[in-house]
Amino acid sequence: MMPSKLLDYARAARGFMPDDEGVALYEAAVAAIERVPGAPIVEIGAYCGKSTVYLASAARDGGVTVYSVDHHRGSEENQPGWEWHEPDLVDPEINKMDTLPTFRRTVYGSGLEDHVVALVGQSPQLAAIWGAPAAMIFIDGGHGEEPAAVDYKVWSPHVAIGGYLAIHDVFESPEDGGQAPYEQIYLPALQSGLFAERFVTGSLRVLERV
């Protein structure tokens, strides 16, 4: 179980990860590390580091590292005028979103900084040089059709056999939310025959690389 102090900390952290899905994410990461010992965890889409804390708690237990990918400029839906915009996350000097300082504070405050490496840049550019099979890859990056499809294409080959592909914001019905993670990541993964569903919590889906 995740230590209760850390759980409280993760729950209070800024971001987009419901409590029950955060716990499920932690538990999936623990299981993934047990299945593929020593292999890293990769996160695509960190924002202010909320999901990172859940993952890093599991990484510490298992003696591995979370590599957390984000350009920290926000997704389309985080930009001014969009539904998920938070104005205080704009760097006033350049008038661009910058979640990196908040991410750094969140991770530092969790006490798990030694278990997290921030990779700041475009997800496809980082995937292109990624070489290590991962115990778990958690995709929660851009939720447009194109970025979601690209994240599936470039990151799913890096899940170790027996490891997990975790996908956030999977909504089967358009009334519940955007369809890109469902249509561009979840369905193609299952249809490929390379992944089988293992856990479902809210909009979190965890698939095993079989």
Which of 66, 69, 159, 207 touches ligand SAH by CB under 6 A? 69
Instruction: Choose one: 12-20, 30-38, 106-114, 192-200; the region binding ligand SAH (CB under 6 A).
Output: 12-20
Per-residue x/- track, 120-159, ligand SAH (CB under 6 A)? --xx----------------xxx----x------------
Describe the chain by its helix, strand, coil percentages, rounded to 5: 45, 20, 35
Best CA proximity match to 199, nearest among 26, 11, 2: 26
| 66-70/159-167 β-pairing | unpaired
Active site residue 143: yes
Name every residue whose Cβ is closer than 8 Å to that of residue 114 and which is 6 or more positions away in sequence.
none
State the catalytic residue, choosing from 115, 143, 158, 168: 143
In the chain, alpha helices (H): 4-12, 19-35, 50-62, 100-110, 123-129, 145-155, 180, 187-191
Phi and psi based region of residue 102 (left: phi greater than 0; alpha: psi -120 to 50; beta: remaining): alpha
Q: Is 140 in the site for Mg ion (CB under 5 A)?
A: yes
Contact 99, 48 (CB under 8 A): yes
* CB nearer to ligand SAH: pick between 40 and 74: 74
Q: Is 168 in the site for Mg ion (CB under 5 A)?
A: yes
Q: Is 169 in the site for Mg ion (CB under 5 A)?
A: yes
Instruction: Choose one: 2-10, 28-36, 63-71, 171-179; the region binding ligand SAH (CB under 6 A).
Output: 63-71
> Which residues carry out catalysis?
143
Write out the residues near ligand SAH by the rule CB under 6 A: 15-17, 45-47, 50-51, 69-75, 99, 122-123, 140-142, 147
